[in-house]
Amino acid sequence: MNKGLSKKKQQQAIAVDLVTRILNGDKSAEKELILQYHRSLLYILNRKDKHSIHIEDLAQDTWVIVIEKIRAGKIKHPKQLSTFILQTGKYLQVMSFRREERLRSDSKVILELLPDSAQNPQIEIDKKLNAKIIRKLINDLYPPRDREMLLRFYIHDESIDLICKDLELSNVHFHRVLYRARKRFKKLWDLYQQENENK
């Protein structure tokens, strides 16, 4: 029992030390924070989602939020840092699942990308074909947040501020996430092009 209490106090002391050092601008403490808790975070996230790409994205988002909160002095109970990290990860995962459900039915807006076909029957045919291809490629994107980012930013033409607010991202983090989403979409597009060239 005493050993258990001693270990708990040790962990709390580590947490307090990390928070204090990060507040003081110690960048090495941020790396230590991730090394200290990353395995526990992945374990929690993996319990409800087995997609490694999605898990890594959620973990990275969790660290961005946690470190920003610590830097801003918003961690009121440093001894409970581990709990805060895991709860943040679980919250992001739940929000991600909810967005995925919503995005499954959101494909009509893709048609807005395509030209007006009123004057040309061939354009109508191309439009339907392109809509099908774009819809399939976007639906194949994983994690679901990639689909949401591309739809909202490029198709709905929503502002960065609005998307950041809804997804709880900083401006810097938004651009990182968008960059990753575009890279994944480009891979799918390149693969589609190669497959069609070989036909």
**Which residue, 75, 102, 129, sits at the end of a domain?**
102
- pLDDT tens per residue, range 133-184: 776 777 777 778 888 888 888 777 788 888 888 888 887 788 888 888 888 8
* Mean pLDDT along residues 7-15: 90
pLDDT of residue 141: 78
pLDDT of residue 33 exceeding 70, the answer is: yes
Q: Which two tokens stand for residue 22?
A: 């990060």
> In the chain, how many domains are there?
2
- Where helices occur in 47-199 by DSSP H, the ranges are 52-71, 81-104, 121-140, 144-150, 160-167, 171-197
* pTM (whole model) above 0.75: no
Residue 120: give the domain boundaries. 106-197
pLDDT at 161: 86
What pLDDT does residue 32 have?
95
Burial class from Cβ neighbours inside 10 Å (0-12, 13-18, 19+) for residue 129 reads: exposed
Place of tokens 């230590």: 32
Q: Which residues contact 114 (CB under 8 A, 6 or more apart)?
A: 126, 127, 130, 131
- Check residue 8 and give its pLDDT: 84
110 and 191 fall within a common domain: yes
Residue where one domain finishes, among candidates 59, 78, 102: 102
Measured CA to CA in angstroms, residue 60 lies from 34, 57, 89, 103, 176 at distances of 10, 5, 9, 22, 11
Mean pLDDT calculated for residue range 14-19 = 94
The answer on pLDDT for 90 being more than 80 is yes
Q: What is the pLDDT of residue 1?
A: 45
Measure the CA–CA gap between 182 and 147, rounded to whole angstroms.
10
At 180 the pLDDT is: 84
More confident: 156 or 102: 156
The amino acid occupying position 110 is I
The answer on 21 and 40 residing in a single domain is yes
Residue 67 has pLDDT above 80, yes or no: yes
- How far apart are alpha carbons 61 and 55 in whole angstroms? 10
Please check whether residues 113 and 69 belong to one and the same domain: no
Nearest to 92 by CA among 155, 153, 49: 49
